Structure 1
Amino acid sequence: MGLLAVHAHPDDETLATGALIASWAAAGRPVTVVTCTRGERGEVIDTPAHPTGLARLEGDGPALAAHREGEVAAAVAALGGGPGAVGQVFLDAADLSDARPTRGPEASGDPGRRPRFEDSGMTWVAPGIAGPADDAPPTAFARVPLDDAAARLAALVRAHRPDVVATYETRGGYGHPDHVRTHEVTTRALALAADPGAAVPGEPWAGAELWQAVASSAALRAGRRALAADPDARTLAARAGLTFPDPDEDLPPLAAHDAELSTGEVRTVDVAPVLDRVLEAMRAHATQVQHASAARAATGLLGWYALSNGVLAPVLAHESYLVSAPVGSSR
């Protein structure tokens, strides 16, 4: 039973689906991570409390991209319990040179051309709505024509023939335009992979469920409260100049699916059995993730980490996924 985990940037595979990847790898199931960009526009953490010596990479897209390629390789090895246990590929490396001519409107340009999909950056265009950075180029992932990216992912789906394809929910977890585009590309790719007439190499594959990463609002708020009450987390925050999230503030889109969690088909993954792997993978993304730690207090909180914003986030006991049946299924 194979898994394809599709993510926008290096580090997303760990932050959004790390326990799923690690659990499947630990069970000996085939897992491949597809990374859509190299995170060229990411901020770089380099502070006295988290010194990486890599501040010079911020703003240097090619250099940061090269460094983050190494970070995602190390993180994937950590999730798999060793090198080679989990595969990883960048989406723009998918080969369409053997694609057959399409019969539909999805053809665009030379199918064998290998573009380079770039981090789009992010700017808020309206409350709760983000778009690519104003200076994002046409090769920015959020601006690439949908089927240019989806055909490449469809080729990977046909090649790997997974039982499950995991990615973000409709609004990309927290609204980043590359995350939103990744959801759109993934759903379109599953349709193309199943279509015998699509300009995609390989035999059609319609056997994959779509798993969208979500969270219970109650669980996320409880995790934030437990985090703020944890004495070790409070000591760390005071020492490192970190802050705590407000448990009563509006939650990101990934937690806006409570009705579906109560009525839809849902899968949960226990994080505790693979917590060490997930934290090790977080630490591999040192330019993006800081202070990944396990909790010692028995509060239901497994641990915490912070991104470049300096806000601690809880590691919850479970990952949750909304499940959609394979394309064409009557389920």
Structure 2
Amino acid sequence: MTGEPLRLMAVHAHPDDESSKGAATTARYAAEGVEVLVVTCTGGERGDVLNPSFEVPTGHEFESVEGKRAVRRLEMAAAADALGVRQTWLGFVDSGLPEGDPLPPLPEGCFALLPLEEASAPLVELVREFRPHVMTTYDPSGGYPHPDHIRCHEVAFEAYHAAGDAGRYVVDGGAEPWAPLKLYYNHGFSMARLRAAHEAMEGAGLESPFGDWIESRAAREIPERTATTSVDVAAYFPQRDAALTAHASQIDPEGFFFAVPRDLEADVWPTEEFELADARVPTTTPEDDLFAGIRKES
């Protein structure tokens, strides 16, 4: 794209998702001069504390929806800084993860209960303003069945397809239509990746935390989606890890995300994977670059 910087938009449901799904990829592209914008659909207001060592920052509280929102905004700013990316909020309210049988109703006014066009409109306008060449988000399952992850997929899919249509989402004084060129789904925790890490840890004489998870997923026969694109990001694991630990209320620095020694991880799985969902430019899979077919060779 001669004379114009490449632009990548990563659409996520909650603060911390951008650090656990494709984070090293966004860090790599940002370091290479790509304009990267992380879009966070909700404020993560209903997320539980998942880090036993978490301490509420001085001057804040974490009991109310408003208090959680404020703390998670602080965490998100630190994570974006670690990755070297821009970040913005769509401003919707976390739906929470319902538990029980039967499942309780979702909270009134939450992200997952909004009509699709109402939830998509601000992202459509943001796509038109930022003009990304590539968008990333979750597959139709949401990656796991959190209602906000499923709605995040729906909203990002809608925005990708609608933002270039001048007859849709018409706003007085709004930005001109813009059609992104490629849409990808994140592939963060594939069975192939888990097995590779599990076998490498056992081979190194280390205790692997992944055995039960692999057996559970296999028993439930969870279908594996096909990754089309692998981006080499081992050099950016430190930025990813810094972003993860920035989300102190959610990420345990002694937990799952840090179970694999980083030198071992770089040896057996130095990439992050994506699934090409749609392309408006010619490209051939497998790819090693989200901008394959978009970059102009010099």
Distance 1:64 1:316, change over 3 A: farther
Corresponding position: 1:275 with 2:237 = yes
Shift of 1:248: 2.1
CA distance in 1, matches of 2:24, 2:210: 25
Shift of 1:118: 0.8
Instruction: Determine helix, strand or coil for the equivalent of 2:42.
Output: coil
Instruction: Determine helix, strand or coil for the equivalent of 1:36.
Output: strand
Which is worse superposed, 156-165 or 267-276?
A: 267-276
Structure 2 equivalent of residue 145 of structure 1 = 115
Shift of 1:23: 1.0
8 Å Cα contact 2:142/2:150 also seen in 1: yes
Shift of 1:245: 4.3
CA distance in 2, matches of 1:153, 1:251: 36
Q: CA RMSD in A?
A: 3.2
Distance 1:228 1:70, change over 3 A: farther
Distance 1:61 1:32, change over 3 A: same
CA distance in 2, matches of 1:284, 1:53: 13
8 Å Cα contact 1:206/1:326 also seen in 2: no
Corresponding position: 1:54 with 2:56 = yes
The one-letter amino acid paired with 2:11 is: V
Shift of 1:298: 5.3
Percent identity over paired residues: 36
Please, what TM-score do these two structures have when normalized by structure 2?
Answer: 0.79
Structure 2 equivalent of residue 7 of structure 1 = 12
CA distance in 2, matches of 1:38, 1:207: 25
Structure 2 equivalent of residue 187 of structure 1 = 157
Structure 2 equivalent of residue 210 of structure 1 = 183
Shift of 1:138: 2.8
Distance 1:251 1:16, change over 3 A: farther
CA distance in 2, matches of 1:268, 1:171: 21
Instruction: Determine helix, strand or coil for the equivalent of 1:206.
Output: coil
Distance 1:209 1:120, change over 3 A: same
Deviations 1:152-209 (A, max 9, x none): 1010111011111101111011111100100000111112201111124211111331
Please, what TM-score do these two structures have when normalized by structure 1?
Answer: 0.72
8 Å Cα contact 1:230/1:297 also seen in 2: no
Which of the numbers 232, 244, 247 marks the counterpart of 2:214? 247
Distance 1:152 1:298, change over 3 A: closer
Shift of 1:324: 2.8
Listed as ranges, the gaps of 5+ residues in structure 1 are: 81-85, 93-116, 304-314
The number of aligned residues is 268
Instruction: Determine helix, strand or coil for the equivalent of 1:195.
Output: coil
